């Protein structure tokens, strides 16, 4: 039962990395025609820097989407976390551990709230997390009129330091992704997430505490949003409530889906998500290098996302057609 999805996933993940290579190649050709070089150091740095923020959010998002849930509040959680981090640090190096702990606690609690309302009150996660996002937005808008707090230079290193062309934040993101891959493949809760996303009723009847599994996914998703908030604080040098206006949550969801994880849950993985994040980052860098109009960027992004998912869907057509759970009534 747990082996088969693994075997399937390998095929899909390979396809996504092929797609990433394709996008890289196409981007390189396009920039070369334009007279640039996609693999110049500055562009590589730009590309890798872009992956880390969306990456953190998308890793957590993968977990909740695998459970057939969704989290639209991550952008707000990240903004809140950046403020918690910056105000707790308040310029003192000694406060850094405390601030990190505070951020993980707060973001974990937001996730726990999302998970509890979704799992135990039966509210559709779309509504739960939209509502949570609105609540946090209201709090942020009321409490913080502008940037607040002060991040010590030492912690800002997390946002800016590079090892060669690779930013530290991207390395941390990859390490977190590796941990998440291990978590999904090798722990009991990880396996339960696939089961819950596959069919909640069957999972329950097999003795899985489905509510608890969903809670875990949401808590972890909240905490990765917290880490994203830490990164925001490190980059800006201060906490910023305005961060939520960037609609990070939609980026994260797009990356997860580009990475081959089914929005209906039960299928996919973090390895694919990382490739999905990378595809979006490569696109953005290519658009940047070619100096494409920012509005045209949105158009192209939309088209690429739809096209990519349409291609995956083609591959899955036969398989999905035979899967009975798509025909079952929806539990949520």
Partner 1 sequence: MTRVRELLVRATNPTATVFVLLVLVFAGVFAMNPGFFEGPSLMAFLKQAAPLVILAAGQYFVIVSGNFDLSVGALVGAQVVIAARLIDGEESRTVPVLIVMALFGIAVGLVNGLITTALKVQSFITTLGMLLVLYGAIRLWTGGAPTGSLSEAFRTPGRLGIENVPVLGQIPWALLIMIAVGAGSVLLMRTRFGRILMAAGDNERAAALSGARVGTARTIAFILSGLSATVAGVLIGGFAGVSAQVGDGLEFTVITAVVLGGVVLGGGRGSVLAAMAGALVIEALFTLFNQMALPSTLRPAVQGAIIIAAVAYAARRRTRPVPTTATATPTPS
Instruction: Check residue 298 for interaction with partner 1 (CB under 8 A).
Output: yes
Instruction: Check residue 288 for interaction with partner 1 (CB under 8 A).
Output: no
Token pair listed for 107: 């973001």
Q: How far is the CB of 250 from partner 1 (least distance, A)?
A: 6
Instruction: Check residue 117 for interaction with partner 1 (CB under 8 A).
Output: yes
Q: Which is nearer to partner 1, 58 or 234 (CB)?
A: 58
Q: Which is nearer to partner 1, 182 or 326 (CB)?
A: 326
Instruction: Check residue 90 for interaction with partner 1 (CB under 8 A).
Output: no
Touching partner 1, residues 254-273 (CB under 8 A): 254, 257, 263-264
Choose the stretch contacting partner 1; rule: CB under 8 A; options: 5-13, 16-24, 220-228, 321-329: 321-329
Choose the stretch contacting partner 1; rule: CB under 8 A; options: 41-49, 185-193, 270-278, 288-296: 288-296
Instruction: Check residue 116 for interaction with partner 1 (CB under 8 A).
Output: no
Q: Which is nearer to partner 1, 186 or 291 (CB)?
A: 291
* Binding interface with partner 1 (CB under 8 A): 117, 121-124, 126-128, 130-139, 141-142, 250, 253-254, 257, 263-264, 293-303, 305-306, 309-310, 313-314, 316-317, 320, 324, 326-330, 332
């Amino acid at each position: 039962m747990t082996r088969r999805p693994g075997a399937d996933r390998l095929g899909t993940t390979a396809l996504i990395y092929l797609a990433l290579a394709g996008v890289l190649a196409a981007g390189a050709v396009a920039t070369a025609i334009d007279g640039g070089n996609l693999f110049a150091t500055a562009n590589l740095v730009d590309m890798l820097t872009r992956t880390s923020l969306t990456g953190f959010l998308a890793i957590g998002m993968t977990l909740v989407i695998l459970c057939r849930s969704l989290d639209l509040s991550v952008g707000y959680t990240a903004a809140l976390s950046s403020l918690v981090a910056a105000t707790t640090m308040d310029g003192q190096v000694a406060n850094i551990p405390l601030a990190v702990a505070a951020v993980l606690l707060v973001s974990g609690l937001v996730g726990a709230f999302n998970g509890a309302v979704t799992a135990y009150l039966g509210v559709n996660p779309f509504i739960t997390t939209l509502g949570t996002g609105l609540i946090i937005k209201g709090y942020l808008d009321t409490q913080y009129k502008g940037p607040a707090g002060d991040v010590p230079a030492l912690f800002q290193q997390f946002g800016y330091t590079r090892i060669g062309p690779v930013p530290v934040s991207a390395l941390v993101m990859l390490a977190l992704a590796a941990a998440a891959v291990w978590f999904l493949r090798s722990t009991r809760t990880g396996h339960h997430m696939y089961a819950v996303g596959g069919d909640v009723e069957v999972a329950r009847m097999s003795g899985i505490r489905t509510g608890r599994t969903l809670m875990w996914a949401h808590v972890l998703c909240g905490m990765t949003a917290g880490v994203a908030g830490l990164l925001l604080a490190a980059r800006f040098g201060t906490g910023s409530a305005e961060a939520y206006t960037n609609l990070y949550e939609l980026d994260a969801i797009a990356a997860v889906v580009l990475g081959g994880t089914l929005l209906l849950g039960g299928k996919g993985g973090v390895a694919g998500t990382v490739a999905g994040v990378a595809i979006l980052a490569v696109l953005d860098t290519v658009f940047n290098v070619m100096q494409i109009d920012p509005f045209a960027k949105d158009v192209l992004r939309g088209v690429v996302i739809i096209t990519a998912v349409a291609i995956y869907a083609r591959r899955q057509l036969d398989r999905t057609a035979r899967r009975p759970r798509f025909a079952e009534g929806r539990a949520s």
